[in-house]
Amino acid sequence: MMKKTRLSNIAILVLFITSYIPLFGLLILRQIKQNIVFLNYGGINRESLLLALHKFGLSYFFFIISLFGYIGLTFLLKNLEKRRSNGDLVKVIEVENKNSESISYISTYIVPFIFQDTNNLFDIASIFIVLVIIFFIYTKSNMIVINPILSITHTLYQIEYNKKNKIRKALLIVQEEDLECGQEIKINLVTKNIYYG
């Protein structure tokens, strides 16, 4: 019987955060560019710390959550890799590479935020509101595996496979770049209709 690896809320949050690391990096660079005149050492005192927080607080926040997301993703992938051998052996019938979905994700969900003013409180609030809405949509759909950072080391496939003479479809995350029809692989259920193999 296939062992199900249920994703915890932290794992889902980690996947969401890492999918936005490119955006966070660009917003950090944008805030640094907008406040470059304040980027000098003013000693360690209350006034200079408050100024640093005011001018670069968003950058500090995005850096910390990006670091949390990256470390979390590393642990998540190690855990999935350990459990891979416990999966069921299935035969791949049809395979379609879905890594191109990450490009669509970047252009649709990341590029529009790049030109926000990181010094404007209204623009910052609107970024957070939209991110919260996208997070709830993200957790309820298969978008959970559409992740530009994950696509650097792993490949996402839409597969049709044969298991005990039953044909099924699923999204599959694998480290291998080439998956072919007729290949037999072990897959582990991660969450609804998403497998790691």
For the whole prediction, is pTM greater than 0.85?
A: no
Task: Give me the torsion for CA of 83, 89, 94, 99, rounded to 10°.
Answer: 10
Whether 73 is in a domain gets the answer: yes
Residue 91: inside a domain: no
Please tell me the predicted confidence (pLDDT) of residue 173: 87
Model confidence at 8, pLDDT cuts 50, 70, 90, reads confident
Does residue 193 lie in a domain region? no
Which residue segment(s) compose the domain that 117 sits in?
9-86+99-152
Q: Is residue 14 part of a domain?
A: yes
The answer to which of 72-76, 139-143, 174-178, 179-183 has the lowest mean pLDDT is 139-143
Strand partners, 96: 158
Task: Reduce the DSSP state of residue 171 to 3 states and report it.
Answer: strand
pLDDT in tens, 131-142: 888 888 877 777
Total structural domains within the chain: 1
Rounded to whole angstroms, the Cα distance separating 103 from 26 reads: 16
pLDDT at 34: 85
Query: What pLDDT is recorded for position 42?
Result: 66
Answer yes or no: is 144 within a domain. yes
Cβ neighbors of 39 (< 8 A, separation 6 or more) are: 32
* CA distance linking residue 38 with residue 45, whole number of Å: 15
Let me know if residue 127 belongs to a domain. yes
In a domain, 121, yes or no: yes
pLDDT digits (tens, 9 = 90+) for 70-117: 999 999 888 888 887 777 888 888 888 887 776 676 666 666 676 777
CB 113 within 8 A of CB 129: no
16 located within any domain: yes
Give residue 108's pLDDT.
Answer: 67
Of 12-16, 185-189, 190-194, the range with the lowest mean pLDDT is 190-194
- For 42-64, the pLDDT digits (tens) are 677 788 788 778 888 889 999 99
| Dihedral sign computed on CA atoms, order 22, 24, 27, 32 | negative
Contact 150, 17 (CB under 8 A): no
